[in-house]
Structure 1
Amino acid sequence: MITLPEKLASMTPYDPCEDVYQIKLDANESYFSLPEELRDAIAASIDTIDFNRYPDPTVADVRRLAGREFRIAPGNIVVGNGSDELISLIMNTFAPRGGKVMVLSPDFSMYQFYAEVAELEVVNMLKDGEFMLTEQQVIDRAKAEKPDILIFSNPCNPGGQGFDHGEAVRICMALEDTLVVVDEAYMDFWDQSILDCSTALENVLVMKTLSKAFGCAAMRCGFIIGYKDLIDQLNKTRSPYNINTMTQLAACIVLEDTSWQKEQCKQLIARKEELEAACQKLAEKYGVFTVLPTHTNFAVLRTEKCTEIFEELKKRSICVRCFPKFQMLRITTGSEQENAILLTELEDICADMQA
Structure 2
Amino acid sequence: MFDLNKLLRNNIRQLVPYSSARDEFKGEARIFLDANENSFGSPLPTDYNRYPDPMQWKLKYKLADIKGVPPQHIFIGNGSDEVIDVLYRALCNPGVDNVILCPPTYGMYEVSAHINDVVIRQVSLTEDFQLDMPALQQAIDEHTKLIFVCSPNNPTANSINREDIEVLLNSFEGILVVDEAYINFARQKTFIQELTEYPNLVVMQTLSKAWGLAALRVGMAFASEEIIQVMNKIKPPYNISQAAQELALQALENIAQVNEWIRETVIERDKLAASLEKLPLVVKVYPSDANFILAKTIDAKAIYQYLVTLGIVVRDRSRVELCAGCLRITVGTPEENEKLIAALADYKIEVGSIK
Q: If the length of structure 2 is used for normalisation, what is the TM-score?
A: 0.81
Deviation at 1:51, TM superposition (A): 2.0
1:214 alignment partner, one of 203, 207, 211: 211
Residue 133 of structure 1: aligned partner: 131
Correspondence 1:112-261 to 2 at 5 A: 112-134=110-132, 136-137=133-134, 139-143=136-140, 147-175=144-172, 177-192=173-188, 193-261=190-258
Relative to structure 1, the CA distance from residue 276 to residue 338 in structure 2 (aligned partners, 3 Å threshold; closer, same or farther) is same
Q: Indicate the SS of the match to 1:214.
A: coil
What is the rounded CA distance, in whole Å, between the counterparts of 1:189 and 1:331 in structure 2? 15
Deviation at 1:287, TM superposition (A): 5.4
Residue 74 of structure 1: aligned partner: 71
1:146-200: per-residue Cα shift (whole Å, max 9, x none)? 621101211001011122433322322221x121011100000013211111243
2:88 aligned with 1:91, yes or no?
A: yes
Q: Indicate the SS of the match to 1:289.
A: strand
Count of residue correspondences: 304
Relative to structure 1, the CA distance from residue 52 to residue 342 in structure 2 (aligned partners, 3 Å threshold; closer, same or farther) is same
What is the rounded CA distance, in whole Å, between the counterparts of 2:163 and 2:67 in structure 1? 19
8 Å CA contact 1:182–1:206 kept in 2: the answer is: yes
What is the rounded CA distance, in whole Å, between the counterparts of 2:147 and 2:174 in structure 1? 7
Instruction: Kindly provide the amino acid, as one letter, of the partner of residue 121 in structure 1.
Output: V
1:276-327: per-residue Cα shift (whole Å, max 9, x none)? 1111122xxx254211111101111113511111111111111000012132
2:292 aligned with 1:298, yes or no?
A: yes
Residue 24 of structure 2: aligned partner: none
Relative to structure 1, the CA distance from residue 347 to residue 303 in structure 2 (aligned partners, 3 Å threshold; closer, same or farther) is same
Relative to structure 1, the CA distance from residue 344 to residue 184 in structure 2 (aligned partners, 3 Å threshold; closer, same or farther) is same
In the TM superposition, structure 1's runs of 4+ consecutive aligned residues that sit over 4 Å from their partners are none
2:352 aligned with 1:353, yes or no?
A: yes
Instruction: Kindly provide the amino acid, as one letter, of the partner of residue 51 in structure 2.
Output: Y
**What stretches of structure 1 of length at least 5 have no aligned partner?**
1-45
**What stretches of structure 2 of length at least 5 have no aligned partner?**
1-43
Q: Indicate the SS of the match to 2:50.
A: coil
Instruction: Kindly provide the amino acid, as one letter, of the partner of residue 177 in structure 2.
Output: V
8 Å CA contact 1:139–1:174 kept in 2: the answer is: no
8 Å CA contact 1:165–1:194 kept in 2: the answer is: no
Q: Indicate the SS of the match to 1:319.
A: coil
User: Please, which moves more after superposition, 312-321 or 92-101?
Assistant: 92-101
What is the rounded CA distance, in whole Å, between the counterparts of 1:174 and 1:259 in structure 2? 39
2:269 aligned with 1:272, yes or no?
A: yes
Relative to structure 1, the CA distance from residue 260 to residue 122 in structure 2 (aligned partners, 3 Å threshold; closer, same or farther) is same
1:62-101: per-residue Cα shift (whole Å, max 9, x none)? 1001111111100000001111111111111121222101
2:311 aligned with 1:312, yes or no?
A: no
8 Å CA contact 1:199–1:228 kept in 2: the answer is: no
Residue 20 of structure 2: aligned partner: none
More helix by share: 1
1:82-136: per-residue Cα shift (whole Å, max 9, x none)? 11111111111121222101111011101100011000011111223343335x3
Q: Say what the alpha-carbon RMSD is for the aligned residues.
A: 1.8
Correspondence 1:281-296 to 2 at 5 A: 281-282=278-279, 286=280, 288-296=282-290
Q: Indicate the SS of the match to 2:144.
A: coil
Identity value in percent:
29
What is the rounded CA distance, in whole Å, between the counterparts of 2:193 and 2:85 in structure 1? 25
1:54 alignment partner, one of 45, 51, 56: 51
8 Å CA contact 1:204–1:226 kept in 2: the answer is: yes
Instruction: Kindly provide the amino acid, as one letter, of the partner of residue 101 in structure 1.
Output: V
8 Å CA contact 1:169–1:194 kept in 2: the answer is: no
Q: Answer with 1 or 2: which has the greater Rg.
A: 2
Q: Indicate the SS of the match to 1:330.
A: strand
